[in-house]
Amino acid sequence: MRTPRPEIRVPLERHASYEVAVDNLRPGSIVYSFGIGRDLNFEKSLAARTGATIHAFDPSPESVEYWGVIEPPPSGVTFHPTGVAAADGLVTFFPPAEGDVTRSYSSVENHSAGGSAVDVPVRRVGTLLRELGHDRIDLLKLDVEGSEYAVLEDVLSSDIPVSQIVVEFHHRFPSLGIGRTRRVLRLLRAAGFRLAHASQDAEDCVFVRAGTSG
């Protein structure tokens, strides 16, 4: 897949491994960050820069253990041991491959030669909004090891108010493929999102909804 060309120009800043359009983020903004593993550098950096309220979600054993030993807890970041999916319930998480330093579990790709799968709680984005009492998401970050396609389709079909999406696509997974990314790109554009950034391999992308920058 060729690198998609940005459709809009907005100021971008790099926070940890992710590019972010920060113009619409300020104290009082709501950020949902799905998939943290054992690394909260993105959430801590963005909270310090913008003053936004950040909710970090990850039900994997590695993340739950990691959060339990952080002292003191990072300011402006709330952790939830819950994953995201297109339906509420439980899903099976497959452990990461041996030597994977990110320790990233996946409900889509079983890329581990060993280790035990675990069942973890997941919620739809709309369910989490209701449970947490929010009426919008100013930034939705998805690094969820292949689950992003179903989640984005659910978010778009539910017409959830989201201003910006930062996503890592996993079309490199054999069970997914580039066709899933192309489909979601079409759906995002139809919903009013415009591409503001794409990495060379088209895996890391930033989308801003028309009329919400600045």
Regarding predicted confidence, which is higher, 11 or 37? 11
- Asked if pLDDT for residue 132 goes beyond 70, the answer is yes
Position 79 in a domain: yes
Q: What's the pLDDT score for residue 109?
A: 61
Mean predicted confidence (pLDDT) in 167-180: 82
Per DSSP, the three-state class of 193 is: strand
CB atoms within 10 A of CB 74: 18
Asked whether residue 105 is assigned to any structural domain, the reply reads no
Q: Report if residue 2 sits inside a domain.
A: no
Is residue 54 within 8 Å of 33, Cβ to Cβ? yes
- Number of folded domains that form the chain: 1
Let me know if residue 65 belongs to a domain: yes
CA gap 53, 30 in Å, rounded? 5
Mean pLDDT score, 20-43: 94
Choose the weakest-confidence range: 66-80, 91-105, 117-131: 91-105
CA distances from 114 to 17, 37, 111, 117 (A): 28, 19, 9, 9
Query: What domain range includes position 153?
Result: 12-86+125-209
Question: Does residue 108 form part of some domain?
Answer: no
| Residue 32: inside a domain | yes
Question: Would the pLDDT of 205 be above 90?
Answer: yes
Mean pLDDT of 10-33: 96
CATH number at residue 150: 3.40.50.150
- Residue 112: is its pLDDT beyond 60? no
Q: Please name every residue paired with 20 in a beta bridge, in sequence order, or none if there are none.
A: 13
> Is 107 inside a domain boundary?
no
The confidence band for 179, taking pLDDT boundaries of 50, 70 and 90, is confident
In a domain, 56, yes or no: yes
Name the DSSP class of 38. Answer: T
Per-residue model confidence (pLDDT) at position 37:
85
